[in-house]
Amino acid sequence: MNIEQEILDYADTFDNVEAISTGGGMDYIYRKFDNGAEGIVSADTMDGSPESLDEKAGISLFFSDEWTDGLVINFDTARAAIANLALIAEF
């Protein structure tokens, strides 16, 4: 898994997010919503997981299985992105 341990440990403090390995070295903190939407936390560059909790990161919300149509919300830190992914209400 290509996610730093401090990020995995922080994500583990939330019940509704988990680590996901998509292959090709792209691993993310992930959440599946009841309506089928999916969310990931990615590095500011969109190249996989952030390298630290203090690095800029974003939440990408996808509304199809293809992960092509979605919404990106940027945060100053990966810590904030993970917490906000966990706190988004079901929609």
Domain count, the chain: 1
More confident position, 24 or 59: 59
Check pLDDT > 90 for residue 22. Answer: no
- ∠56-79-71 over CA atoms, to 5°? 60
Residue 49: give the domain boundaries.
5-87
Retrieve residue 46's tokens. Answer: 């969109």
**What's the confidence (pLDDT) of residue 91?**
72
What phi and psi values does residue 15 have, to the nearest 5 degrees? -75, -20
Query: pLDDT tens-digit profile of 35-72?
Result: 999 999 999 877 789 999 999 999 999 988 777 778 99
Q: What is the pTM of this model?
A: 0.92
Long-range contacts from 14-21, C-beta under 8 angstroms, 24+ separation? 14/82, 14/83, 14/86, 15/86, 16/86, 17/82, 17/85, 17/86
